[in-house]
Structure 1
């Protein structure tokens, strides 16, 4: 994947930190990697930068201008058969709604918006019993995002395997 700039939120730990490391280690690493973490008093306005990147032309794609949110399969209303986890599930369900709304609103600006589900990761939140390491998953997700090369990919939630998941 060849991109000019990447913004990674939640870059102080876990999958966010691993994304920063792996984007910087790519053979054609982005010219700019912006790494953000929680600090509402200093929050980064990136929509004008995305619009500027998208205005250079090209198709709706991750290599042009994109927002990719990290969601979860447990936020799916359709596939919820286990219940529980109210705060986490509802916050990620809200993120899925934001993803879908942004995909509609920003399509006219040629900005792709999607969400990805990384699975259960060995992080502070996922714990040691989780099934995957962050370095392995970051590579998989970067490869998956590289396939987002048309408007067919916007407004959807993707399992790390590439399967579209129901919101």
Structure 2
């Protein structure tokens, strides 16, 4: 059995995923991290930027959530190097910038729901072999039904008639993340007897590439992505074990 906590994380060459890897490297707990990303050049650059990893080990893992062949190849690589994994972090995501349409909905759902399911389904045989397995899904604060139904003065109800003014493009993203929350609940229920602790992580409004221009997001009040990285580390190291099966924020449980 490895003395290190073995982690697989997707979408880790930038943003919150990158910051999560940085957080693991700062821990006194030794980590063996398979750093997943779609683009191999960006992945290699990200790993090089971490510098000396000390007691930890980083392994590049090419994985594209839109390709079953890529997911299968990533599983083959990981299973050839380790007998189990302790943590699977489904961090990779997509947010279309196009107006809502069949195509833009399918784009976000394909990555955030179908692709994430495929990764989880593929890696679960390794995860359930761990003595303390953890499964994390990165969601959004905008996926809360309770909160999005509250009146918002900045977004007045449009006048009667059709067509309406163009719907915001984030409708594709937030609805896919709401679907992801439901998928998390089902995984949490089905994996109960395998002792897998499961969460959706809602990191908050952070300045990442997923949300567009980072500087513009900062001007709007977005926080440092490092906050999301340390949040993930805290969950992996047991800080929110009382909230298993829920959507959690750094300070509270997110309303459904």
Superposition TM-score, scaled by structure 1 size:
0.81
For 1:105 and 1:117, the matched residues in 2 are separated by 22
Question: Is this contact kept in 2: 1:144–1:160, CA < 8 A?
Answer: no
Partner of 1:10, secondary structure, is coil
Structure 2 equivalent of residue 28 of structure 1: 29
Q: 1:88-99 to 2 correspondence within 5 Å?
A: 88-99=173-184
Unmatched runs of 5 consecutive residues or more in structure 1:
55-63
Structure 1 equivalent of residue 129 of structure 2: 52
**Paired positions, count:** 153
CA RMSD of aligned residues (A): 2.1
For 1:140 and 1:109, the matched residues in 2 are separated by 24
Unmatched runs of 5 consecutive residues or more in structure 2:
39-63, 76-121, 156-167
Question: Is this contact kept in 1: 2:21–2:229, CA < 8 A?
Answer: no
Q: 1:1-167 to 2 correspondence within 5 Å?
A: 4-30=5-31, 32-38=32-38, 39=64, 40=67, 41-43=69-71, 44=75, 45-54=122-131, 64-80=132-148, 81=150, 82=152, 84=168, 85-126=170-211, 127-128=214-215, 129-130=217-218, 131-145=222-236, 146-149=238-241, 152-161=242-251, 163-167=252-256
The higher-RCO structure (CA 8 Å, 6+ apart) is 1
Of structures 1 and 2, the larger Rg is shown by 2
Hey, which bits of structure 1, 4+ residues long, moved more than 6 A? none
Question: Is this contact kept in 2: 1:75–1:89, CA < 8 A?
Answer: yes
